[in-house]
Amino acid sequence: MDPKTVTPGIYRIFWHDGSQSVAAVGMTTGGGRWLAPANWVSPTEDEQHWGLIDRMENLEDELLELKSEVQNMIEELAGEDI
């Protein structure tokens, strides 16, 4: 996977070994990409890790849908007598 083609965001990463991670991808000051899986100790800018990725799914749509569902639940609860 070429890191230069990945837009910064939150992703589900499918690794070649069959495991998965949720990770943030961001940009370095030099225009490169950093990768920060939630189950790693620290982010990395090492491009060799990108070669271990089978595919990535952007989670933005899922997160926006979840946000909408939570907002609706809060509005429903706010209208109930407690």
Q: Where are the domains of the chain?
A: 3-78
Cα 69 from Cα 38, distance rounded (Å): 24
Going from the C-alpha of 7 to that of each of 41, 48, 68, 75, the distances in angstroms are: 22, 18, 23, 33
- For residue 11, which amino acid is it? Y
Which tens digit of pLDDT belongs to each residue from 27-46? 999 888 999 999 998 889 88
Global pTM? 0.74
Q: Both ends of the chain: CA-CA distance in Å?
A: 52
Which tens digit of pLDDT belongs to each residue from 5-23? 899 999 999 999 999 999 9
pLDDT for the residue numbered 81: 65
